[in-house]
Structure 1
Amino acid sequence: MASTNSQEVFIIGQTSEGRRFRPSDWAERLAGVMSQFRPDGDPPRLGGHLRYSPWCTPNNVAGVKCVIVHRDMQEAEPQAWDFVMNFARDNDLQIVDACLMPDAKPLS
């Protein structure tokens, strides 16, 4: 992957040929496996073992499941980063350098 200024990488649940990746809950499963990898100082919370890592979260973009992986994971947890990126490559999933935009406020 080329160097970029984006803070996140989106792993899109479509193959390079445009087919949807299965099973349908793949994004939640992958993010669940990665939930143990957290930034230092991430405060423990009640039910914290049931939270996704802020570095790897499932999402939905234009009706397609995806996992958003924050680049901070690459430096802090290189093996976890490699695992996620290799998962995407091994399954021929689309990988896009991008960034999350805050929700737009309605025009008044």
Structure 2
Amino acid sequence: MDHPDDYLIISSLQEDGKRLRPGDWVERISSALANFDEHRRLHYSTSVHPCIIEGEKCLVVARGLETADPAAYAFVMEFARANRLRILADRRSGARALPLPAGNP
């Protein structure tokens, strides 16, 4: 089972408290790293996927992505840094733990 610290949460809020525009950036990045199944349904990766935490759109990034796909990890992290987005380690557990999409690694 994954440990909560194995995930980073990138918030839609910038360091100055403003919300990043465009508002669909989380879905755009998640979709770029997703796969389609045989029924043409989009499946988000368990390594990068959208999530809403306390009403805020966030991007969940597995720390293991840095090893599994260094280019994708570098892209996501550079995007977050360039846009001064808040990056936090996910420390929730139990019932508050992140729901991860099933299927794709």
What amino acid sits opposite 1:21 in the alignment? Answer: L
Residue of structure 2 equivalent to 1:6 = 5
Q: Count the aligned residue pairs.
A: 93
Q: Which protein shows a greater Rg?
A: 1
In the alignment, is residue 65 of structure 1 matched against residue 64 of structure 2? Answer: no
- The 2-side partners of 1:27 and 1:100 are apart by 20
Range with greater deviation from structure 2 (46-55 or 83-92): 46-55
TM-score, normalised via structure 2 length: 0.77
Q: CA deviation at 1:100?
A: 5.1
- Counting aligned pairs with the same residue, the percent is 32
Deviations 1:48-91 (A, max 9, x none): 66111110010111111100001111111111100000010011
Is 2:37–2:43's contact at 8 Å kept on the other side of the alignment?
A: no
TM-score, normalised via structure 1 length: 0.75
Identify unmatched segments of 5+ residues in structure 1.
Answer: 37-43
Q: Say which SS state the counterpart of residue 95 (structure 2) adopts.
A: coil
